[in-house]
Structure 1
Amino acid sequence: MSRTWERKVRKNTSQINKARKKHGVSQIGTSTAPKVDRYTGRNYIFPIVLILLISMYTVFVTTDPEFEPSSMFWVTIGCYIFLALIFFLRRPYIIVGKDYIQTRKMTGDKKLYVSNIKGISVQKGAVVIMQIKGANWVFSKLLNRYPTEEIGRKLADFAKTNNLPFEEK
């Protein structure tokens, strides 16, 4: 039963696509999304700092002889641990598209188009994208575990395609 259904769907889709092609309309069932390369890292520095801070807070507060644990104390500890977990699981990324570079910052996803890029610099363990206006974007192997060698190769092609200054140190 399902094979005949799939054949019917395929046959109808091909008929509709032929008609749409004659009228100059985009076809259905075909992917027209532009190809982008996505590289992910792993954020571990900030979660470790949060865990250390909450540990210090717990040690300092509980060593006080007049300390009596309340529910708010445990809620505070739980919230900081949950925040550290969120930062650990929310992986940083960089997307290299045809004419833009996108990443996630603290305030949300940011997209940087070619017209706003001053240049790209690749070093051992770090990639720096220099903006015309604003702070540079730094993607580091040490801080966020990015595959900087792969990103550097892709950004070299990106810079060559879009006539951007590219520096490799």
Structure 2
Amino acid sequence: MSRSWERKVRKNMTVVNKQRKKQGNGQIVFNAEKSEKIVGRNFIAPILLILFIGMYVILMQSSTQFKTDTMFWVTVGCYILLAALFYFRRPYITIGKDYVQTRRMTGDKRITAAAIKGISAQKGYVIVEQQKGGNWVFAKLTNRFPTEEIAAKLKVFAEANHIPFQEK
């Protein structure tokens, strides 16, 4: 009886969420847990891609043997779309009750509090050190993260989960 009740509740929640989405309201989440999502802005990769495609166009146009055909313009267009994708796909950090999540090149990654060795914060940088794997660095310079806000929220997270927190 309990599982069928939960299925009914989930089904009704999807219907209500679709209606709320059409109305422009936020979605209702079943058994939601509180988490903080902080976003940055990636601008270095799009600038480098635009500079690269600009250099490509200039070098190819100056060549006497190169013919600008459809494939040339498709390539230029694809690089511009890639730059737009990097710009509009904003980097983020989500700080939950017992996890930290962010987007990496290979997709969204989540680490639990038990897998975090320590957290260090300094001016312009916040570093989440993992037990296994590379450190996660959130920088104000490269991704326009509000590092002071991230450091404050991660300090509360570290205290709640007994993780060493170091401020430099």
Check whether TM > 0.5.
yes
- Match for 1:123: what amino acid? Q
Aligned twin of 1:144: 143
Normalising by the residue count of structure 2, what TM-score does the alignment of the two structures yield?
A: 0.82
Shift of 1:67: 2.2
Aligned twin of 1:53: 52
Shift of 1:48: 0.3
CA distance in 2 between counterparts of 1:67 and 1:98 reads 58
Q: Report matched runs for 1:154-169 at 5 Å.
A: 154-169=153-168
- Match for 1:74: what amino acid? W
CA distance in 2 between counterparts of 1:137 and 1:166 reads 14
Length, aligned pairs only: 143
CA distance in 1 between counterparts of 2:34 and 2:160 reads 15
Task: Classify the secondary structure of the residue corresponding to 1:39.
Answer: strand
Normalising by the residue count of structure 1, what TM-score does the alignment of the two structures yield?
A: 0.81
CA distance in 1 between counterparts of 2:120 and 2:29 reads 37
Deviations, residues 101-154 of structure 1 (Å, cap 9, x unaligned): 000001110001011100000010110000010000000000000110000000
Which structure would you say has the larger Rg? 1
Task: Classify the secondary structure of the residue corresponding to 1:82.
Answer: helix
Superposition CA RMSD, Å: 1.6
- Match for 1:127: what amino acid? V
Instruction: Label 1:91 to 1:63 Cα distance change in 2 as closer, same or farther (>3 A).
Output: same
Deviations, residues 40-93 of structure 1 (Å, cap 9, x unaligned): 000000000000011111111110122221100000000000000000000000
Aligned twin of 2:79: 80
Query: Which runs of 5 or more structure 1 residues have no equivalent in the other structure?
Result: 1-19, 21-27
Shift of 1:32: 3.2
Shift of 1:94: 0.2
Aligned twin of 1:99: 98
Aligned twin of 1:42: 41
Aligned twin of 1:62: 61
Aligned twin of 2:111: 112
- Match for 2:123: what amino acid? K
State the identity %: 55
CA distance in 2 between counterparts of 1:145 and 1:33 reads 29
CA distance in 1 between counterparts of 2:67 and 2:107 reads 40
